[in-house]
Protein backbone atom coordinates (compact mmCIF):
# COMPACT_ATOMS: atom_id res chain seq x y z
CA UNK A 1 0.00 0.00 0.00
CA UNK A 2 1.32 3.46 -0.89
CA UNK A 3 2.53 5.90 1.75
CA UNK A 4 -0.25 8.27 0.72
CA UNK A 5 -2.80 5.79 2.07
CA UNK A 6 -0.71 4.65 5.03
CA UNK A 7 -0.32 8.14 6.43
CA UNK A 8 -4.05 8.84 7.05
CA UNK A 9 -4.41 5.37 8.59
CA UNK A 10 -1.51 6.12 10.92
CA UNK A 11 -2.92 9.53 11.86
CA UNK A 12 -6.32 8.03 12.57
CA UNK A 13 -4.97 5.16 14.67
CA UNK A 14 -2.63 7.42 16.57
CA UNK A 15 -5.62 9.37 17.89
CA UNK A 16 -7.03 6.28 19.55
CA UNK A 17 -6.47 5.31 23.17
CA UNK A 18 -3.95 2.57 23.86
CA UNK A 19 -6.65 0.24 25.20
CA UNK A 20 -8.63 0.60 22.00
CA UNK A 21 -5.56 -0.16 19.89
CA UNK A 22 -4.83 -3.23 22.02
CA UNK A 23 -8.41 -4.39 21.49
CA UNK A 24 -8.09 -3.96 17.72
CA UNK A 25 -4.78 -5.83 17.73
CA UNK A 26 -5.96 -8.75 19.84
CA UNK A 27 -9.39 -9.12 18.22
CA UNK A 28 -7.62 -9.47 14.87
CA UNK A 29 -10.69 -8.72 12.78
CA UNK A 30 -9.38 -8.97 9.21
CA UNK A 31 -12.79 -8.11 7.80
CA UNK A 32 -12.91 -4.72 9.49
CA UNK A 33 -9.21 -3.82 9.33
CA UNK A 34 -6.58 -4.20 6.61
CA UNK A 35 -3.11 -5.67 6.98
CA UNK A 36 -1.68 -2.15 6.79
CA UNK A 37 -3.92 -1.08 9.66
CA UNK A 38 -2.54 -3.88 11.83
CA UNK A 39 1.05 -2.93 10.91
CA UNK A 40 0.29 0.65 11.93
CA UNK A 41 -1.33 -0.44 15.21
CA UNK A 42 1.68 -2.56 16.06
CA UNK A 43 4.04 0.30 15.27
CA UNK A 44 2.10 2.77 17.45
CA UNK A 45 1.93 0.32 20.37
CA UNK A 46 5.69 -0.22 20.18
CA UNK A 47 6.25 3.53 20.10
CA UNK A 48 4.17 3.79 23.27
CA UNK A 49 6.48 1.22 24.89
CA UNK A 50 3.66 -1.33 25.18
CA UNK A 51 4.32 -5.04 25.23
CA UNK A 52 2.54 -6.51 22.23
CA UNK A 53 0.19 -9.31 23.33
CA UNK A 54 -0.51 -12.28 21.03
CA UNK A 55 -3.36 -11.95 18.60
CA UNK A 56 -6.49 -14.07 18.58
CA UNK A 57 -7.14 -16.27 15.55
CA UNK A 58 -7.92 -14.05 12.59
CA UNK A 59 -11.56 -13.23 11.94
CA UNK A 60 -12.02 -13.52 8.19
CA UNK A 61 -15.82 -13.65 8.01
CA UNK A 62 -18.60 -12.13 10.06
CA UNK A 63 -21.66 -14.26 10.84
CA UNK A 64 -24.83 -13.41 8.94
CA UNK A 65 -27.03 -11.05 10.94
CA UNK A 66 -30.16 -12.73 12.29
CA UNK A 67 -33.31 -12.28 10.24
CA UNK A 68 -36.09 -10.16 11.69
CA UNK A 69 -38.44 -12.50 13.50
CA UNK A 70 -41.27 -12.21 10.95
CA UNK A 71 -38.91 -13.05 8.05
CA UNK A 72 -37.59 -16.05 9.95
CA UNK A 73 -41.14 -17.19 10.67
CA UNK A 74 -41.98 -16.78 6.99
CA UNK A 75 -39.01 -18.94 5.92
CA UNK A 76 -39.86 -21.61 8.47
CA UNK A 77 -43.62 -21.36 7.92
CA UNK A 78 -43.97 -21.26 11.71
CA UNK A 79 -46.27 -18.41 12.68
CA UNK A 80 -47.74 -17.54 16.07
CA UNK A 81 -51.20 -17.77 14.50
CA UNK A 82 -52.46 -21.11 13.14
CA UNK A 83 -54.21 -21.54 9.83
CA UNK A 84 -57.88 -20.64 10.22
CA UNK A 85 -59.50 -23.71 8.67
CA UNK A 86 -62.99 -22.22 8.40
CA UNK A 87 -61.62 -19.20 6.55
CA UNK A 88 -59.57 -21.42 4.24
CA UNK A 89 -62.59 -23.59 3.44
CA UNK A 90 -64.77 -20.57 2.69
CA UNK A 91 -62.17 -19.01 0.36
CA UNK A 92 -61.45 -22.27 -1.47
CA UNK A 93 -65.19 -22.95 -1.76
CA UNK A 94 -65.78 -19.48 -3.20
CA UNK A 95 -63.05 -20.00 -5.80
CA UNK A 96 -64.41 -23.45 -6.64
CA UNK A 97 -67.90 -21.98 -6.99
CA UNK A 98 -66.66 -19.37 -9.47
CA UNK A 99 -64.85 -22.02 -11.50
CA UNK A 100 -67.90 -24.30 -11.46
CA UNK A 101 -70.14 -21.45 -12.60
CA UNK A 102 -67.81 -20.44 -15.45
CA UNK A 103 -67.17 -24.02 -16.62
CA UNK A 104 -70.90 -24.76 -16.52
CA UNK A 105 -71.67 -21.74 -18.71
CA UNK A 106 -68.90 -22.71 -21.16
CA UNK A 107 -70.22 -26.27 -21.46
CA UNK A 108 -73.89 -25.25 -21.61
CA UNK A 109 -74.42 -21.52 -22.35
CA UNK A 110 -78.20 -21.98 -22.10
CA UNK A 111 -77.82 -22.39 -18.34
CA UNK A 112 -76.93 -18.71 -18.20
CA UNK A 113 -80.67 -18.05 -18.25
CA UNK A 114 -81.35 -20.57 -15.47
CA UNK A 115 -82.79 -18.94 -12.36
CA UNK A 116 -81.94 -22.01 -10.30
CA UNK A 117 -78.24 -21.77 -11.16
CA UNK A 118 -78.23 -18.06 -10.36
CA UNK A 119 -79.92 -18.66 -7.00
CA UNK A 120 -77.49 -21.44 -6.07
CA UNK A 121 -74.51 -19.33 -7.03
CA UNK A 122 -75.81 -16.34 -5.09
CA UNK A 123 -76.53 -18.48 -2.02
CA UNK A 124 -73.13 -20.23 -2.07
CA UNK A 125 -71.24 -17.01 -2.75
CA UNK A 126 -73.15 -15.20 0.00
CA UNK A 127 -72.39 -17.87 2.59
CA UNK A 128 -68.69 -18.01 1.71
CA UNK A 129 -68.09 -14.26 1.66
CA UNK A 130 -70.09 -13.79 4.87
CA UNK A 131 -67.92 -16.30 6.69
CA UNK A 132 -64.72 -14.70 5.35
CA UNK A 133 -65.99 -11.25 6.28
CA UNK A 134 -66.82 -12.33 9.84
CA UNK A 135 -63.39 -13.89 10.34
CA UNK A 136 -61.51 -10.89 8.91
CA UNK A 137 -63.63 -8.44 10.90
CA UNK A 138 -62.93 -10.28 14.14
CA UNK A 139 -59.16 -10.46 13.67
CA UNK A 140 -58.85 -6.95 12.19
CA UNK A 141 -60.49 -5.43 15.26
CA UNK A 142 -58.87 -7.63 17.91
CA UNK A 143 -55.24 -7.57 16.68
CA UNK A 144 -52.80 -4.71 16.27
CA UNK A 145 -51.10 -3.95 12.93
CA UNK A 146 -48.08 -6.21 13.56
CA UNK A 147 -50.19 -9.13 14.78
CA UNK A 148 -52.71 -8.80 11.95
CA UNK A 149 -49.86 -8.66 9.45
CA UNK A 150 -48.51 -11.98 10.74
CA UNK A 151 -52.01 -13.49 10.89
CA UNK A 152 -52.55 -12.58 7.22
CA UNK A 153 -49.26 -14.24 6.26
CA UNK A 154 -50.35 -17.42 8.03
CA UNK A 155 -53.60 -17.49 6.02
CA UNK A 156 -52.07 -17.02 2.55
CA UNK A 157 -52.87 -19.77 0.06
CA UNK A 158 -50.00 -18.83 -2.26
CA UNK A 159 -46.66 -17.76 -0.79
CA UNK A 160 -43.76 -16.18 -2.67
CA UNK A 161 -40.26 -15.21 -1.64
CA UNK A 162 -40.12 -11.89 0.14
CA UNK A 163 -43.89 -11.70 0.47
CA UNK A 164 -43.64 -10.35 4.00
CA UNK A 165 -41.31 -7.54 2.88
CA UNK A 166 -43.92 -6.37 0.35
CA UNK A 167 -46.88 -6.72 2.71
CA UNK A 168 -45.05 -5.02 5.60
CA UNK A 169 -44.80 -1.79 3.59
CA UNK A 170 -48.56 -1.45 3.84
CA UNK A 171 -49.28 -3.26 7.13
CA UNK A 172 -50.91 -0.28 8.86
CA UNK A 173 -53.00 0.53 5.81
CA UNK A 174 -53.99 -3.12 5.46
CA UNK A 175 -55.22 -3.23 9.03
CA UNK A 176 -57.55 -0.27 8.63
CA UNK A 177 -58.58 -1.30 5.12
CA UNK A 178 -59.68 -4.66 6.52
CA UNK A 179 -61.38 -3.06 9.52
CA UNK A 180 -63.49 -0.99 7.15
CA UNK A 181 -63.92 -3.41 4.26
CA UNK A 182 -64.58 -6.65 6.15
CA UNK A 183 -67.96 -5.53 7.54
CA UNK A 184 -68.90 -4.61 3.96
CA UNK A 185 -68.05 -8.20 2.95
CA UNK A 186 -70.53 -9.41 5.55
CA UNK A 187 -73.15 -7.00 4.21
CA UNK A 188 -72.59 -8.17 0.62
CA UNK A 189 -72.73 -11.81 1.68
CA UNK A 190 -75.93 -11.41 3.69
CA UNK A 191 -77.49 -9.49 0.80
CA UNK A 192 -76.60 -12.29 -1.63
CA UNK A 193 -78.07 -14.91 0.74
CA UNK A 194 -81.20 -12.81 1.23
CA UNK A 195 -81.60 -12.33 -2.52
CA UNK A 196 -81.30 -16.07 -3.17
CA UNK A 197 -83.73 -17.07 -0.42
CA UNK A 198 -86.22 -14.37 -1.30
CA UNK A 199 -86.12 -15.35 -4.96
CA UNK A 200 -86.70 -19.03 -4.11
CA UNK A 201 -89.61 -18.22 -1.76
CA UNK A 202 -91.13 -15.84 -4.27
CA UNK A 203 -90.86 -18.53 -6.95
CA UNK A 204 -92.63 -21.05 -4.71
CA UNK A 205 -95.48 -18.66 -3.98
CA UNK A 206 -96.19 -18.02 -7.63
Q: What is the mean pLDDT of each run of 10 residues along the chain (206 residues)?
A: 73 90 92 89 87 90 61 67 88 90 83 76 91 93 83 75 57 81 93 87 70
Distances (CA, A) of 33 to 6, 36, 44, 150: 13, 8, 15, 40
Q: Report d(CA 188, CA 125) in Å as an integer.
A: 10
Please give the model's pTM, rounded to 2 decimal places. Answer: 0.58
pLDDT of residue 161: 55
- What are the sequence ranges of the domains in the chain? 3-47, 69-205
pLDDT of residue 110: 76
pLDDT of residue 137: 93
pLDDT of residue 38: 92
pLDDT of residue 190: 93
Within its chain, how far is the Cα of 155 from the centroid? Answer: 12
pLDDT of residue 154: 82
Amino acid sequence: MSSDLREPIYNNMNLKETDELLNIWQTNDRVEWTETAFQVVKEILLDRIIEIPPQNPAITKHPEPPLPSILQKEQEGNYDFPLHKTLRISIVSMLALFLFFIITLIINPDLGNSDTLAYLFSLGYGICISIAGCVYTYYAWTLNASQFFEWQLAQQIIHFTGQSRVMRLFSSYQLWANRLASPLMILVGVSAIGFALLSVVTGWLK
